[in-house]
Amino acid sequence: MKKIFTVIAAALLIATSASAQHEIGAIVGGLNGASYKYWFNDNMAIQADLAVGLTEAAGGNSYAGSYYSWHAGMWDFTINPNFLYHFQLPANFKVYCGGGVNFGMLGALATSGGGVDGKFGINAVGGVSYDLDAAPIVLAFDFRPGYGLDWVPNGHMSYFDWKLALAVRYKF
């Protein structure tokens, strides 16, 4: 049984790797860091971003009622994998939508006096990408609304957050 599972897993890996397309590059905006995309087929992909950014939660002048000051802002270090479905449009454009999770660390900027906390959340993704004809480069712009939990010393807080991001990736 173990050998059969190993053979099936190896066959799936070879089948997906032979036709796989990868993209690697940078993402800037609400997230700033590295971006990687793996295509399962022409429409389905997983995109993972490892980024640092600033977080501003919706809901007034306080960070979800916490000890953080919204005006001083928050920084976050995020790992954000998302499953995406792409719709092909004319002229090398694609529109995509999907969702995923984000986890990492969240902390207050120096002026607000807070510490570093863990964070976990879910998010939706919607955007548009463009494949350049002259080079194996992809430009993408997306919007990521999400809901998150922040573990603080006396419990946790929940918040709504959103990011706008521009990605530039090399296809190989």
Q: How far apart are CA 102 and CA 170, in angstroms?
A: 23
The β-bridge partners of 55 are 74
Provide the pLDDT for residue 162.
82
pTM of the model: 0.78
Provide the pLDDT for residue 22.
95
Name the more confident of 118 and 38. Answer: 38
Provide the pLDDT for residue 9.
59
- Answer yes or no: is pLDDT of 40 > 70: yes
Name the more confident of 67 and 170. Answer: 170
Full set of structural domains in the chain with CATH = 20-171 (2.40.160.20)
List the one residue out of 29, 56, 53 whose CA is nearest residue 161.
56
* Contact of 98 with 145, CB cutoff 8 Å: no
- Answer yes or no: is pLDDT of 14 > 60: no
| CA-atom Rg of the chain in angstroms | 19
Provide the pLDDT for residue 142.
95
Q: What is the mean pLDDT of the chain?
A: 81
At 15, list the tokens: 């089948």
Provide the pLDDT for residue 17.
55
**65-78: per-residue pLDDT in tens?**
443 444 446 778 89
Provide the pLDDT for residue 156.
73
Provide the pLDDT for residue 119.
85
Segment 138-143 shows an average pLDDT of 96
